[in-house]
Structure 1
Amino acid sequence: MTTSTPTATTSLLRLRTPVLAVLGALLLSGGWAPWPTAWLVPLLFVGWLPYLVMERKLTLEGARKGRVFASTYLMLVLWNALTTWWVSYAELAAGIAAVVLNALLMCLPLMAFRQTKKRLGNRWGYLSLPVYWIAFEQLHLHWDITWPWLTLGNGFAAAPQWVQWYEYTGFLGGSVWVWAVNLLLFFWLVSKEAKAKARDMEPADLPNDGSSAPLFTVKLLTPLLVIFLPIALSYFIGATYQEKGPTAEVIVVQPNLDPYVEKFEGGAQFVPYDEQLTRLLKLSEQKLTPETRLIIWPETALEEPYWENTIESNPKIRRVRAWLARHPGVALLTGITTLGSYPNKEAASETARYRDDLGYYDFFNSAAYFADAAAPVALYHKSRLVPGVEKIPPVLVAIVSHIDLGGTVGSVGSQADRTVFAAPANAPALRLAPIICYESIYGDFVGEYARNGATLLGLPTNDAWWHDSPGYRQLLSYGQLRCIETRRDLARSANTGFTGFINQKGEITQRETAWIPTSSRATVHLNTETTFYVRFGELIGRGAQLAAVLLLVVAVVVGWRRKQAAA
């Protein structure tokens, strides 16, 4: 009998289950490194291999369901902890909840895969795995406890030059890519093991017929091509793409007010709201030129609540208008906290609050747009709300209503439509999309702005809730993907964090230093064309959900028939 020398591939198959779980979490974390870098992104292509090996190993051992679940959950909770631990900066309990609950939800598609494989066999089982996972990612974009931070396609945010084809597929195309490579490498790995076992069983004196197979077999060549061909296509698209649309000069402002001690009333070093407004105006004037057409201030730049029905009479709004009157031709987008009232309970929204002295009213995280000094204020209400902070699902009210993730706790109001602000008179191509902070995680959501006619993405945000952590660096990178998907420039104004500009290829063209008061000026392009992804949205996600339902139905029916036959 011959003996085969252990290789890296066969060694992986021999690892213990806990080791595989830890290894999988470490590899998947490569797409969400503390300092985003393209060098670690390739780890995503092997990130699911430890899980696939672990699941196969447990199946062959006939492991109980509890052990399978525990091993799977261990990997997922470690992955979540390694990548989103920074949520705990704002509130320890919230950070723990985000890690524990999201890992639990991630188990659902993996358990569905296990049951499908058991009932329909390996071929349909492994085919169902990416289908269930991407269907889950699509669901995670739209339900009440939405938290799509770890959508696999977001893992390429640190390497936007690799995914220029997101203008066709959106970021879920990246999720398909990750699963395709991982599964192909897994099949190659299993075939290598099978051949190694077959060689060990052959007589030693038989001639070598070449069955040892060179390293670059067809089964290995296929996943390598699946890795490099999309990258090559992306570089080709990036090299030939030209920025589209007329130009306009834009200023973004970073006031650098600490939200824990300076920004909000009651903070230990609270800066009075009049002084905050003075800082915003001064920083805007530092970069102002006769060609400036738009200025963007960050999320909640105007913080003290403004009643929407009396907003025009507010002294600070009048002060802003007076400043704009001294700079004709300049439009302003600012984050603002607003309150909207309702005449009675029947007219109130589901998120409305009640006070004896105020009646029914809604609290909004809003964006206010001044097309010029005289035009009425146009408002947009943030619509993708942070779960547990701005939106509390009814089933979780008792659990998280006391948790402070940063900002106002409880459900705030929102709106159904994506508002695109009208172009100012002297810049007819400038139609602005107000994307507030967390909303920039969502691809199809941002695409709706472009479908509604937006030619520029404006992002007011307040990254300082997460201190100097991976959170705000990753959020910046996600903006690069949204630019590729929509082929729109993005102007980013952070209270503090990263303020600057991203072009239509997802390249950061200008970025100011974090943690200092500053402003930035750039000339942006105003594209009117729409990408395939903008026109048709999440075809991949919706298709995966339909396929997932069909697979589950078939698996259930087959399982039921087997029980009937055995009875």
Structure 2
Amino acid sequence: MRSWWSVRGRGARTRIGPGRRALGCLHSPLRWVLAGIGLAFTFPPSPLGWLAPVWLALLFRAAATATPRQAMRLTWLFAVGLFGALLSWLPLSLAGTVGPAIVALYPLLVGLLAAMWALTAWLTRRLAGRLSLGAFPMAWAALEVARSWGPFGFTWGSLGYTLAQTPLVQVAELGGISLLGLLVGIAASALASRNRWMCGAALLLWGAALVFGVTRPGSPAGTQTALLVQGNVDPREKLAGQADADWQRYLRLTWRGLQRGAADLVLWPETAVTWATRPAALAQVPVPVLLGAAVTQAGQPFNSALLSLRGVVAGRYDKIRLVPFGEFFPGRRALNRVYQQVFSALGLPDLQGLTPGRAALTVGTGALRVGVLICYESTFPALARALVRDGANVLVTPSNDAWFGASQGAEQHFQMGRVRAIETRRWWLRVGNDGISAAVSPSGAVTVRAARFTAQAVPVTFTLQSGQTLAVRWGDAVPAGVALGWLLGTVVLRRRPGGEGGPSAGEGIE
């Protein structure tokens, strides 16, 4: 069987099979950008997640027969297509709320994310040589774990999310999103090899994951009620300052919801109010209120979630993972003048950034132990695991996706957070300023989802869950350990005399 796409290496024989006529009018760089766009369309909310390995196989097959430098180049092009399409909502949505100048930051982000993929391909080809095809899935698994580290961690585009709307997502309870990404990479590598034994092994692996997914027991019916209060406040108005109006809006919606039915817990969105201006009326609310609030303590601003019992703070969680260049600004003091000019161009006030929280700790009262993941934090599995280990029996995400407008950004954000429910087997309650407000069961099923862009209070049911999944206990250790062990073994095997098998960089693959 001839290769569909291949890359010209030193002395290579270039072979392009059935796709040549269809794509012959296109230059090679555009060809790889289009392939990356194809992979982007397998991420949620698309139902095409099953096809993710097919697009990734095209990249793996070509990169495995290219020189390291060529592999880096074509991978960068592929990743530009992937992240360019996946994050296309970013400039389109933010330009409408922040201003058109924000569009300039979009290519920088796409280029940086693509560079991470490109360097991974280059390093793998250098270390694994002819064994690269088997090493690629492990290298990508290690990359995606590393991409979640540090203050600049960014997990959008992790391969495992392509399976978020398939039954295979249930495997996340065993090894988290990293294990799902490994499944995608292994299938892609098997398809790229066109070896019947490798494809058969990958098929068996996916079959086992599918059986595991479809046989998981359903989630128990909810026994407690939460009231999700969606304020639908314009984010630019909040920046202009309207503290009293915000309080009145959320208190009014809360009372309306409680008049329609009793609730055990009331949830308000991220930074719904400013705590320093809290009214006495909050003391009249008869049930616990977990509210997102802007808090200033000792001159330090925090993005917090406060558990209020009749106006008295019974628990507080400060957001740990702040959004880079949104909630914290690297080198703010040294680059003060530059930041001021940028903010002025965007029509924003002189933002100073927030202070990060110190620890992932639960808040609660009685048997209720809430693990809070504020907005962006719901995309980081390690935080959810830490909260469950600290005793969380329900996960809650106060969020504000109003900056995204009607784009796909909010939906992608929601689908990523939904996987946290499966990884931890906890109910996940999400309340957004203008949505998405929803209740998600431990099986990942969306039991209630409120309409977006409306002010409303929506009752949902949930149950307090106990126990710890393997993903909670071990985190990324198992999939990352397997990946790193495999990579180390590949490097050792390659360095042994006669250890490199398969075609060389210039021989192509039959």
TM-score scaled by structure 2? 0.83
SS in 2 for 1:137: helix
The answer for the alignment partner of 1:50 in structure 2 is 58
Instruction: Tell me, yes or no, if the aligned pair for 1:172 and 1:540 is still in contact at 8 Å.
Output: no
Is the alpha carbon distance of 1:315 and 1:366 closer, same or farther for their aligned partners in structure 2, counting shifts above 3 Å? closer
- The 1-side partners of 2:296 and 2:205 are apart by 51
The answer for the alignment partner of 2:447 in structure 1 is 509
1:153 aligns with 2:110: no
Structure number with greater Rg is 1
Q: Residues 142-183 of structure 1: CA distance to partner in whole angstroms, max 9, x if unpaired?
A: 122111111111222233x33112111101011100011001
Q: Runs of 5+ in structure 2 lacking a partner?
A: 6-15, 95-101, 498-510
1:163 aligns with 2:163: no
What is the identity, as a one-letter code, of the residue corresponding to 1:235?
A: V
Equivalent pairs, count: 469
1:69 aligns with 2:72: yes
The answer for the alignment partner of 1:269 in structure 2 is none
1:251 aligns with 2:251: no
Instruction: Tell me, yes or no, if the aligned pair for 2:175 and 2:471 is still in contact at 8 Å.
Output: yes
Q: 1:263 aligns with which of 238, 248, 252?
A: 238
Q: Cα RMSD over matched residues? A: 3.2
Mapping 1:72-471, distance limit 5 Å: 72-88=75-91, 89-90=93-94, 91-118=102-129, 122-123=130-131, 125-159=132-166, 161-188=167-194, 217-237=196-216, 240-243=217-220, 247-260=223-236, 262-265=237-240, 272-288=242-258, 291-303=262-274, 306=275, 314-321=276-283, 323-324=284-285, 327=286, 330-341=287-298, 361-370=299-308, 372-373=309-310, 375-394=312-331, 401=339, 409=351, 411-423=353-365, 428-471=366-409
- The 1-side partners of 2:422 and 2:383 are apart by 14
SS in 2 for 1:414: coil
Query: How many angstroms does 1:264 deviate by?
Result: 2.4
Q: Which moved more, 1:408-417 or 1:93-102?
A: 408-417
Query: How many angstroms does 1:110 deviate by?
Result: 1.2
Instruction: Tell me, yes or no, if the aligned pair for 1:24 and 1:49 is still in contact at 8 Å.
Output: no
The answer for the alignment partner of 1:346 in structure 2 is none
Is the alpha carbon distance of 1:46 and 1:319 closer, same or farther for their aligned partners in structure 2, counting shifts above 3 Å? same
Query: How many angstroms does 1:419 deviate by?
Result: 1.8
Is the alpha carbon distance of 1:6 and 1:492 closer, same or farther for their aligned partners in structure 2, counting shifts above 3 Å? closer
What is the identity, as a one-letter code, of the residue corresponding to 1:451?
A: R
Instruction: Tell me, yes or no, if the aligned pair for 1:389 and 1:408 is still in contact at 8 Å.
Output: no
Is the alpha carbon distance of 1:132 and 1:221 closer, same or farther for their aligned partners in structure 2, counting shifts above 3 Å? closer
What is the identity, as a one-letter code, of the residue corresponding to 1:44?
A: A
- The 2-side partners of 1:407 and 1:100 are apart by 28
- The 1-side partners of 2:339 and 2:482 are apart by 34
Is the alpha carbon distance of 1:5 and 1:477 closer, same or farther for their aligned partners in structure 2, counting shifts above 3 Å? closer
Q: Runs of 5+ in structure 1 lacking a partner?
A: 192-216, 267-271, 307-313, 342-360, 560-567
Query: How many angstroms does 1:139 deviate by?
Result: 1.3
SS in 2 for 1:58: coil
What is the identity, as a one-letter code, of the residue corresponding to 1:32?
A: F
- The 1-side partners of 2:3 and 2:485 are apart by 40
- The 2-side partners of 1:167 and 1:47 are apart by 26
Is the alpha carbon distance of 1:496 and 1:375 closer, same or farther for their aligned partners in structure 2, counting shifts above 3 Å? same
The answer for the alignment partner of 1:204 in structure 2 is none
- The 1-side partners of 2:219 and 2:80 are apart by 42
- The 2-side partners of 1:111 and 1:362 are apart by 43
Instruction: Tell me, yes or no, if the aligned pair for 1:86 and 1:95 is still in contact at 8 Å.
Output: no
Query: How many angstroms does 1:442 deviate by?
Result: 1.0
Q: Residues 43-92 of structure 1: CA distance to partner in whole angstroms, max 9, x if unpaired?
A: 21212122123224534xxxx83x54332211111111100122223221
- The 1-side partners of 2:322 and 2:384 are apart by 14
What is the identity, as a one-letter code, of the residue corresponding to 2:51?
A: L
Instruction: Tell me, yes or no, if the aligned pair for 2:61 and 2:193 is still in contact at 8 Å.
Output: no
The answer for the alignment partner of 1:11 in structure 2 is 18
- The 2-side partners of 1:6 and 1:22 are apart by 19
Instruction: Tell me, yes or no, if the aligned pair for 1:335 and 1:368 is still in contact at 8 Å.
Output: yes
What is the identity, as a one-letter code, of the residue corresponding to 1:339?
A: T
- The 2-side partners of 1:106 and 1:396 are apart by 32
The answer for the alignment partner of 1:213 in structure 2 is none
SS in 2 for 1:264: helix
- The 2-side partners of 1:333 and 1:408 are apart by 29
- The 2-side partners of 1:539 and 1:519 are apart by 40
Q: Residues 477-529 of structure 1: CA distance to partner in whole angstroms, max 9, x if unpaired?
A: 11221101111111111001211211111111111110111121012111022
Q: Residues 532-566 of structure 1: CA distance to partner in whole angstroms, max 9, x if unpaired?
A: 1112222135426754884798699899xxxxxxx
What is the identity, as a one-letter code, of the residue corresponding to 2:326?
A: V
Q: Residues 10-31 of structure 1: CA distance to partner in whole angstroms, max 9, x if unpaired?
A: 4359977435413421231133
Query: How many angstroms does 1:141 deviate by?
Result: 1.0
Is the alpha carbon distance of 1:429 and 1:422 closer, same or farther for their aligned partners in structure 2, counting shifts above 3 Å? same
What is the identity, as a one-letter code, of the residue corresponding to 2:282?
A: V
What is the identity, as a one-letter code, of the residue corresponding to 1:320?
A: L
What is the identity, as a one-letter code, of the residue corresponding to 1:454?
A: A
The answer for the alignment partner of 1:194 in structure 2 is none
Q: What is the percent sequence identity of the aligned residues?
A: 25
Query: How many angstroms does 1:243 deviate by?
Result: 2.6
The answer for the alignment partner of 1:211 in structure 2 is none
What is the identity, as a one-letter code, of the residue corresponding to 2:318?
A: H
- The 2-side partners of 1:545 and 1:158 are apart by 25
Instruction: Tell me, yes or no, if the aligned pair for 1:23 and 1:50 is still in contact at 8 Å.
Output: no
Instruction: Tell me, yes or no, if the aligned pair for 1:21 and 1:54 is still in contact at 8 Å.
Output: no
- The 2-side partners of 1:76 and 1:242 are apart by 37
Is the alpha carbon distance of 1:542 and 1:369 closer, same or farther for their aligned partners in structure 2, counting shifts above 3 Å? same
Is the alpha carbon distance of 1:549 and 1:145 closer, same or farther for their aligned partners in structure 2, counting shifts above 3 Å? farther
Q: Residues 279-337 of structure 1: CA distance to partner in whole angstroms, max 9, x if unpaired?
A: 1112112221664110000001014xx5xxxxxxx45253322x32xx2xx10011111
Q: 1:37 aligns with which of 46, 67, 92?
A: 46
Instruction: Tell me, yes or no, if the aligned pair for 2:401 and 2:410 is still in contact at 8 Å.
Output: yes
